[in-house]
Amino acid sequence: MNVGQRWKNIRYEAEVDPKFVEEIASIPAGQRLFDCIQCGTCSGTCPVSHYMDQTPRKIIAMIRAGFRREVLASVTTWLCASCYSCSVECPQEIKITDIMYALKRLAIQEGVYPRRFPISVLAREFYRFVLKTGRNNEARLTMRLFLKTNLFRLFGQTLLGLKLWRQGRMRLRVDRIKSKRELRKIIKVLDEQLARKKFKAKAISAGEAV
C-alpha cells in the first residue's frame, strides 16, 4: 500500500460511527464481536479473500473502529461465498459468515451497496422479481442484471441465451404464483419486523430504554 492509499484510509473521529459496532454486536451473530483478537485466521482460510477489497479480519476491525460507510460499501460481503470456513476456524468462535449476511442486509436497507457490482445488483433484482411474480425466471433475471451492470455483456450472451432457449433449457415466459398478494403480505411483515429490530438495535446502541 502506497502513502497515498494509507492517507486515504485515515479518518478523523468525527468521520466514524462509534455506534456501528454496538448495532452489529446487538444481532445474535455479532455477540462475540468484541472477542476478536485480530489473528487473521479468518482471512487465511477464506477461499476468496484475495479478491476482496477488505479481508474478513479487516472487516471485523473496521466494524469495531466505526467505519460504517466503508464496511457497507465494501465488495467483501458480496464476494463472501458463505462457505463458513472462517466461522469454523475462528479461535474466538465469532460467526463471521452471519455477520457478512447482516452487513449485506444493512447495505441494501441503507442503499449503500456497490451500485454496479453484479452480485449486489443480482440480489436486489432477484428480490424485486420474486416480490412481483412469486417465482424466479433465470432469463429475465440475467437480462436485468446485464442491463444494470454491463450492457455489452448482454449482447455477448444473447447467442448463448438463444441456444439454451431453443433446447428448452431457458424459459422466457414468466411464471406467477396464484397468491401474490399473500406473498407480499408475508414479505411486508418480515420487512416490518426487520425494521423494528433495527430500530431497537439503534436505540440500544444509543443507550435508550426500549
CB 45 within 8 A of CB 90: no
Give the residue, chosen from 21, 24, 29, 46, that forms a contact with ligand SF4 under the rule CB under 6 A.
46
Closest separation between CB of residue 125 and ligand SF4, Å? Answer: 22
DSSP helix/strand/coil, 6: helix
187 contacts ligand SF4 (rule: CB under 6 A): no
State CA 130 to chain mean position distance: 18
Nearest-angstrom CA–CA distance, 127 and 131? 6
Number of H helices and number of E strands within the chain?
12, 0
102 contacts ligand SF4 (rule: CB under 6 A): no
- Shorter beta-carbon distance to ligand SF4: residue 83 or 189: 83
54 contacts ligand SF4 (rule: CB under 6 A): no
- Shorter beta-carbon distance to ligand SF4: residue 84 or 199: 84
Closest separation between CB of residue 80 and ligand SF4, Å? Answer: 3
| Residue 120: exposure state from Cβ atoms within 10 A (0-12, 13-18, ≥19) | buried
| Stretch of 75-83, 120-128, 182-190, 191-199 contacting ligand SF4, by CB under 6 A | 75-83
121 contacts ligand SF4 (rule: CB under 6 A): no
- Shorter beta-carbon distance to ligand SF4: residue 103 or 142: 103
Of residues 110, 157, 161, 169, the one with CA closest to residue 149: 157
92 contacts ligand SF4 (rule: CB under 6 A): yes
